[in-house]
Chains A and B, each alone.
Chain A
Amino acid sequence: MTLLLQTFVLMKWPSVRRWSLLAIVFMGLSAVPIYGQNIPVSGVVKSTLDNEPLIGVNVVIKGTTTGAVTDVNGTYKLLVNSEDDVLVFSSIGSITEEIKVGNKSIINVDMMPDITALDEVVMVGYGTAKREDVTGAISSISGDELRKTQPVTFDQALQGKVAGVVVQQTSGQPGGGVSVQIRGMSSFGNNSPLYVIDGVIIGQGFDSGGGTNPLATISPSDIESIDVLKDASASAIYGSQATNGVIIITTKRGKEGSPKITYDYSVGMQQLIKQYPTMDLQEYAQFINDRAAVWGFDERPEFANPQYLGKGTNWQDELFRNAPMSNHVLTLSGGNDRTQYLLSGSYVNQEGIALGSEFTRTSLRLNLDNKTTDWLKIGTSLQLTHVDENINSTGSNVIAEALWQTPDIPVRNPDGSFAGEESNEGWIQKRVNPYAMALVNKNNPKRNQVFANFYAEIAFTKDLTFRNEVSGNFSFRTEDQYKPKYKFGLAERLTNEAFYSYSQDYYTTFRSFLTYAKVFNSKYNVNAMVGHEAQVSQFENINAGRNGFVSDNVTNIGSGDAQTATNGGTKGDNALESYFGRLTFIYNDKYILTGNVRADGSSKFAPDNRWVATYSGAFSWKINNEGFLKDVKRINELKLRVGYGLTNNQNIRNNAYLSLLGTVPTALSGSAQLTTNLGNPDVEWEKTEYSNVGLDVRLFNWRLSLSVDAYNRLTNDLLMQIPLPAYSGASADWSPGSIGAPYINIGAVRNRGFDLHLNSTNINKGDFTWSTDFTLSHNKNKILKLNTDGASLTAKLFDPEQIVSETKVGGSMGDFYGYVVDGGVFATASDFENHALPATNDGVTLPITPNSGGVWYGDLKFKDLNGDGIITEKDRTYLGSPIPDFQLGLGNTFRYKGIDLNIFFSASIGNKVVNEMRIRGEYPSTQFGFLKALKNHAVLALIDPTGSDSDVNNVYVTNPNTTIVGLRNTNGANQNQRFSDKYVEDGSFIRCKNITLGYTFPKELLGKIHLENLRVYANVTNAFLITNYTGMDPEVGSWNPLRAGIDSGFYPQARTFTLGLNIGL
């Protein structure tokens, strides 16, 4: 397996192979001996890292003390005795090079930085480890790497950068959320990983829904590194919260040295990438006329001559705009041997591409470390953030809002007032002008967030330290909404109303842990840690509403009519207490053994089910340190990792084991108590067994590095709020008065897959370097068991209400199920004879008639999959999965002198997306979303024009290959809108996520203007998208695995052009 992979890598990367071949040829040539004495040799030593001259490199003739040191230009000169002499180039922080003199008089050397010497460390939870000693599957990404894509929130930038992590945007709204899944979905609830920011745990209970993103308060510019703990052997130390993986974010800290000031500025412009093709006014008028003729309505007089009409309003043009954004970050850092500090402030303003949406974040960070005494170190990470958003009319369905409008309605009347539908004839629904709504309504959430971590670390001895941490995540939110009175055409609102809410969330953690680290006999390296942690999460909120405001200018709640006041509020809390420990043992820098154990007690379960144990063990073998590989210079690292663990998940609502009662209004007693959920006293922890095998390879002086991991996650006792059939009164879909469905442990799901990360420096010559970064992830999700045989979990579409996805044993989460369209529409008389017809539950086929309740020409033909001659719900079949087969990321960085160019692609292969916009927009009876495709609706014609139009033998369809149904004035018993493969599209895509071109000014030049550093860059995000998907964007994230891949017209991602500069003083 290992060899195969290596071969595969070498074959795929010709530049690397060529390089190694050259090395062999070179060594062969140098074997020819030539004699001489006191031969002068000179050259320049440069770093491969930045191609700058290296100063102070020792150059020594091997076996002697004769040598020289490089000067400020990196040059050296010395005399050698013979061509057999070998020069040894050494410098701290670089890999020592040995070069035989041979017949050369000039020997230039490019020295590789010694990466191990840099002591690359990885956050492993309650401590750090050297990268080379890690036993679990941990991927890291540096802050610099992250910032290449100019993200507004850091989670957006993870896409394609970390193998095994699937990142999907759930809303393109400024500061909008993304769904992040590490190695597949193991839970029916939220599959988000645990985020730990400088020790502050972002509680999993957070509600990522509603478009706003709790991680949006962190400024990406503050991030030093991100470590992703993927498998159980890595994450188990976080216990029950870590079953979906852990993302540890470390922010920058001050370093000893003179103060450094940096300022980053960027300004950008965002635009909509794609529009839905909607009818223009001429097309719309023609279509409405055609439809009115069939429906028997009077023609609308203003549509009498469509050819004289203009294009009308394109509502997508109106609702979307080119939106500016800007970003300022000022950072001050420094310190002495006692105290180090970092102070940073940032300000981001981003207008959304949808009218009325805006995101502003102001944040301040202070990171302090102080070595108070020889034995005590204290410090803090403190971040204060204020986020101010506008999310006017730009909820999850902003596209639907735009499609809702017809082109005959102008945005404004000639007098400047907002326009609206003026016609009051039948079948015209009064839509509200969305442009006006975005401007007149107010929906302004604000958040103040404090992330704080204080630590005190005591060193009892050199080996034994005790660390106490108190950390908190405090969030204070307000939401201020106001809807004024308006009259846009016939759409009228006669009351104004305001709604205001305040909520606060406290998430507090106390932890203490004791770490013992010692190397015995220079061979046995022991690291042990034990600790205790207690976490409390509390939330409270209150809201108020009033109507009857006298003025739209004064809209605070108190100004409304007191008689209309309403209010509400909730409170809740949960707690988690844990004991944990870890032991790492390294023998001779070859064999590493790690064990984790953790006991968690959660308030979410009944007392008997409260406590659970998490454990994991891992082993890794540094093969390159074995004798037989020790001298193979080309192999810098070869490490095999094997891990296994059991993690637990408690991601359910509070008190789910109890039935609760809530207050409802009644005329009998004012208020009464009604059951709100069906408690399940037996609900318990969800358990995941997790095994992982991985291999880390680094070759050719670190120029090629590869990590491959294969894993198997088996989750049992799946926790879910199970949607029971409607007769339970506790189904999952929203219905006032229904009882909340119970949480139960219902089954088992398996996630198997692999992920691969490859990094290679392809060319490193002179001033030019080219390096490539590649990630590949594959995950296969399979449901192994559900609570009862034949049970399935379903998700519905709402208009028309029908099942779209079914999750059942043997399939994967959120599989699409529906009918299959058989070619097109009923077009000839023989179609009715040869093709199965829909039938009632009792098996009675529907009559062939243009009348109500019948099937007729222009209706869709569905495939009779079970061959019983009729179309019933038994003809539904599997239509694909929203889960991609492969996710890829490919980044290329080119550097030439001061110029750098980075191009990054992300791709997703094999997933399906349901285009919900088409279900309504391609249906001729639609009231909104008139897509251009409708023009190709089935057109019925008579064979004998004088004959009957209801005679099955006298009608045909002139465009029989269409899949757009015909116009009918009767309701279609054929259910043409039933969910079918027609609406399931291939969601594969390749996205050019980012292109950045930068220029770093030369140091000499900057020295003259007293600058440390200056870089300017231009960046394009979402430059282009290659996909067959016909909607706006196939990347449809969802926090609910049962509703994954359903595109109901959400806020699309924008294309962003940015110009920026980084200045260092």
Chain B
Amino acid sequence: MRYIYKICVLFTVLFTVSCQDDFLDRPSLSEISAENFYQTKEELRLATAALYGKPWARWHNEAYIPLGDVMSGNIIIPYQGADLVELNTFTISGSNGRSYSGWKGLYMVVAHCNTTIKGIENTSATIAEADKNAAIAEARFIRAMAYYHLALLWGEVPIIEDNTKLITSPLINRNITADVYRFIAEDLIFAAENLPLTDAPGRVTTWSAKGLLSKVYLTMAGLGQSGGTRNQEYLDLAKNTAKDVIENSGLDLFPSYYDLFRTQYNDSPESLFALQWTVGAGWGEGNMLLTYSPSMEINPQKDGGWGGPLTSYDLYLAYTEQDSIRRKANFMLTGDHYPELNAAEGGYTATNSTMKKHIIGNEVDNNAPSMTFTSSILHTQLLRLADVYLVYAEAILGNNGSTSDADALLYFNMVRERAGVDPVTALDIDVIFDERRLEFACEGQYWLDLVRLSYFNPVKAIDRLNNQQRVTFEYDGDTKEATPNDPIGVISPATLATFTLELPVSEVIANPKLLEPAVAYY
């Protein structure tokens, strides 16, 4: 039995080899866990920085232009599927893929903001309250931006503040539109109070929050109204908030409208909020708008230009001869030359009337060697100072038929003069909405403006749509003559219902409670 001793040793060794207490503690080796992140101010900044990009990608790549500009009649995309045709012809069903992308994409932004806010709120680390609040304020600003789009597109939508609650109770009701706007306003008020006056380029500041807040107030002024008048209280709030930004921010319009949309001038002082796209994003994760390039030749690696969105005849007609700076920055006409697109090979001469905004040329033009067509480095501006100027003028106009208020005219005409067009001497609602369309064409704005208009003046909003020529056109570069084409489908007349998108069918199937009447949130 001499071996028994040896065996006992072996026995003991083998039984204890794996019985360490921490044997089963296996923290992730590739990712940081939320439980041990959010420990320093720098980490909070890293968390909020992520909210300026990837979470927006789905909406940005698939819904931004389609819902904002195709639906509003600025742009027509007859190819790339029936979804885009439906947006042009107002036959948008609940199974429209672009509508679903918008819905899903915007709620993705909300979800990321919510988890970031909860992560910061629940941190055990001792970080200065002001720093924590500033980070939360960034997330709440971005969340407000997403909800603002959701409210304008779908009206009654569910308000979600804590996504972890959906783990146990995923089936929720929609909330009434007024409460959605109240929620947005509260986020923005918090943001305005807690964001810094200035920050690194690209980061939102208190002025970003106040700028968006003025726009939200202006929207709320029309909500539930009719007959063309708006709630004066909110009009005043809109006016005062915009005025605060204009007078106290120290920010100015960027001198060149054209350069505002070139990557060299990303995050100019005029930009109040822009998506911070950069190189290195994978498929669908970055700025994919270069897929709208009219030619492979001018794209990075000469790849991925799937055909430019066509400009509508209606938008073409909206620009005067004098308004060529904005026109040329927004869309091309056959024969237009763009020396900066594929500059090395002599620039690009347009062969059709396609969208120019967001088309920035190739990696050499932008001095970004690893830029690809899936990762354009142009920062997409979702809020500009010019917008606040026009909001200010509109808030001053308020319920008046027209105005020649000096302040209103001053800022309104600053926008026009920057574009090289003559100033106006009086403002009315049509002048303002027309100007907004020209200034923000291909920035996803015009549909939002029309919905806003439909709140208090549905007749005018419907007329604007039904009087459009929502067709493509041929442009002769030599004679400078444009001829409208046939519609790509029979366009259904717009009604009040047109201004509210149907809920995505798959969402309704997944949660039938969405079809129940909306409930109050507060």
Question: Nearest A residue to B28 by beta-carbon distance?
Answer: A655
User: Can you list 5 A-B contacts (CB < 8 A)?
Assistant: A376-B3, A570-B29, A571-B30, A842-B502, A853-B91
* A267 contacts the other chain (CB 8 A): no
A458 and B14 CA atoms in complex are apart in Å by 14
Give chain B residues whose Cβ lies under 8 Å from the Cβ of A679.
33-34
Contact A790 B171 (CB under 8 A): yes
Neighbouring B residues of A534 by C-beta, 8 Å: 17-19, 23
The reply to whether the CB of A1040 lies closer than 8 angstroms to some CB of chain B is no
Query: Does A792 touch B at the CB level, under 8 Å?
Result: yes
Q: Are B170 and A724 in contact (CB under 8 A)?
A: yes
Judging by beta carbons under 8 Å apart, are B25 and A603 in contact? Answer: yes
When distances are taken between beta carbons in the complex, the residues of chain B under 8 Å from A564 are 369-370
- Other than A494-B303, A853-B91, give 16 A-B pairs with Cβ distance below 8 A: A495-B302, A510-B17, A574-B26, A659-B33, A661-B31, A666-B53, A669-B46, A672-B49, A728-B111, A736-B57, A737-B58, A739-B111, A739-B112, A852-B86, A853-B86, A970-B489
A727 to B102 CA separation, bound complex (whole angstroms): 11
User: A residues within 8 A CB of B503?
Assistant: 841
Residues from chain B with Cβ under 8 Å of A739 in the complex: 108, 111-112, 115, 163
Asked if A422 CB lies within 8 Å of chain B CBs, one says no
Considering the chains assembled together, what is the distance between the CA atoms of A737 and B284 in angstroms?
9
Q: Which residue of A lies closest to B267 (CB)?
A: A667
Q: Quick check: B58 and A736 within 8 Å, CB to CB?
A: yes
In the assembled complex, the CB of B163 is this many whole angstroms from the nearest CB of chain A, namely 6
Whole-angstrom CA separation of A978 from B505 in the bound complex: 12
B186 within 8 A of A: no
B344 at the interface (CB under 8 A from A): no
Residue from the list A512, A547, A662, A801 in contact with B14, Cβ < 8 A: A512
Which chain B residues lie closer than 8 Å to A873 at the CB level?
A: 94, 505, 508-509
Q: With A725-B170, A852-B85 in contact, do A802 and B515 touch (Cβ < 8 Å)?
A: no
Cβ of B93 < 8 Å from any Cβ of A?
A: yes
Q: A460-B7, A571-B29, A787-B168 are in contact. Are A729 and B108 (CB under 8 A)?
A: yes
Q: Which residues of B contact A736 (CB under 8 A)?
A: 54, 57-58, 282-285
Q: Which residue of A lies closest to B16 (CB)?
A: A532
- Give a binary string over A722-757; 1 marks a CB under 8 Å from any B CB, 0 the rest: 101111111100011111001010000000000000
A468 within 8 A of B: yes
- With A655-B33, A668-B202, A726-B104 as contacts: A841 and B280 at CB distance below 8 Å: no
Q: Are B43 and A673 in contact (CB under 8 A)?
A: yes
Is A90 on the interface with B (CB-CB < 8 A)? no
CA A495 – CA B103 in complex, angstroms?
35
With a cutoff of 8 Å between Cβ atoms, the chain A residues found around residue B82 in the complex are 971-972
**Complex Cα–Cα for A678 and B119 (A):** 11
| A634 surroundings in chain B (CB, below 8 A) | none
> In the complex, what's the smallest C-beta–C-beta distance from B306 to chain A, in angstroms?
10
Q: Mark B354-384, 1 if CB is under 8 A from A, else 0.
A: 0000000000000001100000010100000
The residues of B that contact A971 with a CB separation of less than 8 Å are 82, 85-86, 89, 91, 489
Tell whether B507 is near chain A: CB-to-CB under 8 Å. yes
A849 nearest in chain B by CB position? B490
Out of A510, A674, A744, A794, name the residue touching B50 (CB < 8 Å).
Answer: A674
Does B128 have its Cβ within 8 Å of any Cβ on chain A?
Answer: no
Rounded to whole angstroms, the CA-CA distance of A851 and B493 in the bound complex is 13
Q: Which 3 A-B pairs have the closest CB atoms?
A: A729-B111, A534-B18, A852-B489
With A674-B50, A970-B489 already in contact, the answer to whether A737 and B24 are too (CB < 8 A) is no
Q: Is B5 an interface residue, CB under 8 A from the partner?
A: no
In the complex, what residues of B have CB within 8 A of residue A468's CB?
10, 14
A668 to chain B, nearest CB (A): 4
A566 interfacial contact with B, CB 8 Å:
yes
Contact present for A852 and B377 (CB under 8 Å): no
Which residues A814-852 have CB closer than 8 A to chain B?
840-842, 849, 851-852
Evaluate contact between B57 and A661: CB separation under 8 angstroms.
no
B222 within 8 A of A: no
Tell me, rounded to whole Å, the shortest Cβ–Cβ distance linking B354 to chain A: 15
Q: Shortest Cβ distance from B171 into chain A, in angstroms?
A: 6
Contact A726 B504 (CB under 8 A): yes
The 8 A CB mask of B384-409 against A (1 = contact, 0 = none) is 00000000000000000000000000
- Inter-chain CA distance A832–B370, complex, in Å, is 57
- Asked if A493 is an interface residue, CB under 8 A from chain B, the answer is yes
Rounded to whole angstroms, the CA-CA distance of A274 and B397 in the bound complex is 72
- Give chain B nearest CB distance to A979 CB in angstroms: 11
Known: A510-B14, A679-B34, A841-B502. Is A737-B57 also a contact (CB below 8 A)? yes
Cβ of B11 within 8 Å of any chain A Cβ, yes or no, is: yes
Cβ contact within 8 Å between A570 and B489: no
At the interface with chain A, which of B239-247, B271-279, B414-422? B271-279
Does A680 interact with chain B (Cβ within 8 Å)? yes
Report how far A1054 CA is from B489 CA in the complex, Å.
46
Q: For B47, give the chain A residue with the smallest CB separation.
A: A673
Which residues of A are found within 8 Å of B32, using beta-carbon distances?
Answer: 660-661, 673
Report how many residues on chain A are interfacial, defined by Cβ distance under 8 Å. 101
A664 within 8 A of B: yes
Any B CB within 8 A of the CB of A788: yes
| A 849-861 binary contact with B (CB < 8 Å = 1; else 0) | 1011110000000
Indicate if the CB atoms of B167 and A729 lie closer than 8 Å. no
Contact A853 B50 (CB under 8 A): no
Instruction: With CB as the reference atom, state the residue of chain B lying closest to A610.
Output: B24
Kindly list chain A residues whose C-beta atoms are within 8 Å of the C-beta of B10. 458, 468
Q: Are A730 and B89 in contact (CB under 8 A)?
A: no
Instruction: Provide the bound-state CA to CA distance between A661 and B51, in Å.
Output: 12
Judging by beta carbons under 8 Å apart, are B281 and A665 in contact?
yes
Distance in angstroms between the alpha carbons of A468 and B31 in the assembled complex: 36
- Measured CA separation A490–B10 after assembly (Å): 71
Distance (whole angstroms) from the CB of B195 to the closest CB of chain A: 15
CB distance from B190 to the nearest CB of A (A): 21
Is A725 a contact partner of B7 (Cβ separation < 8 A)? no
| A665-B278, A728-B166, A788-B169 known; A675+B115 contact, CB < 8 A | yes
Give the residues in chain B near A680, CB-CB below 8 Å: 164, 167
Kindly identify which residue among B51, B93, B282 contacts A975, using a CB–CB cutoff of 8 Å. Answer: B93
Tell me if A738 and B53 are in contact (CB < 8 A).
no
CB-defined interface of A90-134 with B at 8 Å, one 1/0 digit per residue?
Answer: 000000000000000000000000000000000000000000000
Q: Which residues of B contact A460 (CB under 8 A)?
A: 4, 7
Binary CB contact string for chain B from 431 to 475 against chain A (1 if under 8 A, 0 otherwise): 000000000000000000000000000000000000000000000
The answer, yes or no, to whether A654 is at the interface (CB within 8 Å) is yes
Q: Does chain B have a CB within 8 A of A196?
A: no
When the two chains form the complex, which single residue of A373, A655, A667 contacts B379, counting CB atoms closer than 8 Å? A667
A678, A728, A840: most-surrounded residue (chain B CB, <10 A)? A728
* B29 surroundings in chain A (CB, below 8 A): 570-573
Q: Which of B49, B167, B379 meets A742, CB within 8 Å? A: B167
Over the window 689-729 of chain A, the binary record of Cβ atoms lying under 8 Å from chain B Cβ atoms (1 yes, 0 no) is 00000000000000000000000000000000010111111
Q: Does B115 contact A852, Cβ atoms closer than 8 Å?
A: no
- Of A660, A674, A727, which one neighbours B33 at CB under 8 angstroms? A660
* Interface: A602 (CB within 8 A): yes
A630 close to chain B: CB less than 8 A: no
B108 engages A577 (CB within 8 Å): no
Closest A residue to B33 by beta carbon equals A658
Q: Is A803 an interface residue (CB 8 A)?
A: yes
B149 to chain A minimum Cβ distance, whole angstroms, is: 14
- Please tell me if the beta carbons of A566 and B26 are within 8 angstroms of each other in the complex: no
Instruction: Please measure, in the bound complex, the distance between the C-alpha atom of A794 and the C-alpha atom of B515, giving whole angstroms.
Output: 19
Q: Known: A661-B34, A679-B34. Contact between A792 and B510, CB under 8 A? A: yes
Give the residues in chain A near B515, CB-CB below 8 Å.
841
Contact (Cβ within 8 A) A840 B93: yes
A494, A566, A676 — most chain B CB neighbours (10 Å): A494
B203 beta carbon closer than 8 Å to chain A:
yes
Contact partners of B155 in chain A: CB under 8 A: none
Q: How far is the CB of A508 from chain B (nearest CB, A)?
A: 10
Q: In this assembly, does B188 line the interface, its C-beta being within 8 Å of a C-beta of chain A?
A: no
Chain B nearest CB: distance from A83 CB in Å?
63
A residues less than 8 Å from B14 (CB atoms): 468, 510, 512
Q: Is the CB of B167 within 8 A of A744?
A: yes
